[in-house]
Chains A and B, each alone.
Chain A
Amino acid sequence: TVGCVALDRHGNIAAGTSTGGLTGCHSGRVGDSPLPGCGLYADNVVGGVSLSGDGESLIRTTLAARLMHSLEAMPPGAAIQAALTYLARVGGEAGLIVIDTEGRVDWGHNSAQFAVAHARAGQPARAFVNRAQDAQEDYP
């Protein structure tokens, strides 16, 4: 599964997801990826999110919606941690990318790895496969 969140110069935010599914899953099975509030969400007054992980768990927890609600009250890093904590109720792995309306970028995961690249105006593009490799102090 892949995804993207972007904020443009006009303050507009968008989010997207795309997946090739699960090996050996039942024909017709659909996970979180195409479902707003589960695998993605975007709202100019809050931010945008795109998720990856165990689709059934992300659907059962409506994790993208939960992450968006948390973003209304806390910065992206804390909102991501709150979402991952909630996910533990049903179990499963997830990776989450976020840009809030102030342009703050962050990401997190409880999976072994999560390939991510990000960039902001005035800051070069960087790529990682684990959040621990991405220095916290670089975030606004």
Chain B
Amino acid sequence: GWAIIVHGGAKDIPPGLEDAHRRGCLLALAAGQAILEAGGAAIAAVEMAVRALEEDPTFNAGHGAVLNAAGEVECDAAIMDGATLAVGGVAAVKTLRHPISVAAALLSRTPVLLVGAGAEAFAGAHGGELCDPADLIVARPGDPGCD
């Protein structure tokens, strides 16, 4: 059989936002679950589930990232295939709508981890979805973010 589990971050959830977190996790789970139920690959299920979480402004990833000391967005993501032990990762990226998909694109192209402008250049050359960093910012006053 198949199995899937997603998370939306280890943190203090502000009062009144518990349902938004549960709902967002369930939507992401459904995205991955649909792939697994159809006989699809775990690696695809993980990418689709994380993309859904990155799209949801409830969570600190992709659309919903927090700002660093310079007032900039910097996102990190990685994905690992247990069949081959291949890993793809990107770090300190500012213009990627879905960092997890760029990390997934790295899996079959050798490098394990690309950072900053190099990762964004790779994304531009391999179909990554680029955006304005401002598109990723969501007003969540007091949110410290988390890894």
- Shortest Cβ distance from B74 into chain A, in angstroms? 5
Whether B143 is near chain A, meaning CB under 8 Å from some CB there, is: yes
A8-B42, A31-B147, A116-B5 known; A111+B10 contact, CB < 8 A: yes
Whether A103 is near chain B, meaning CB under 8 Å from some CB there, is: yes
Q: Which of chain B's residues 1-50 have a Cβ closer than 8 Å to chain A?
A: 1-13, 18, 21-26, 28-30, 32-33, 36-37, 39-43, 45-47, 49-50
Return chain A residues, CB-CB under 8 Å to B41.
8, 10, 12, 14
Number of interface residues, chain A, beta carbon within 8 A: 75
A2-B6, A3-B6, A115-B13 known; A8+B40 contact, CB < 8 A: yes
Other A-B contacts than A34-B91, A93-B146, 14 sampled, CB-CB below 8 A, are: A2-B8, A3-B50, A9-B2, A16-B77, A17-B78, A30-B92, A33-B147, A40-B78, A53-B10, A54-B147, A112-B13, A114-B7, A114-B11, A115-B22
The interface of chain A, by Cβ under 8 A from chain B, is 1-10, 12-36, 39-44, 47-48, 50, 52-55, 58, 93-95, 97-99, 103, 105, 107, 109, 111-122, 125, 127-129
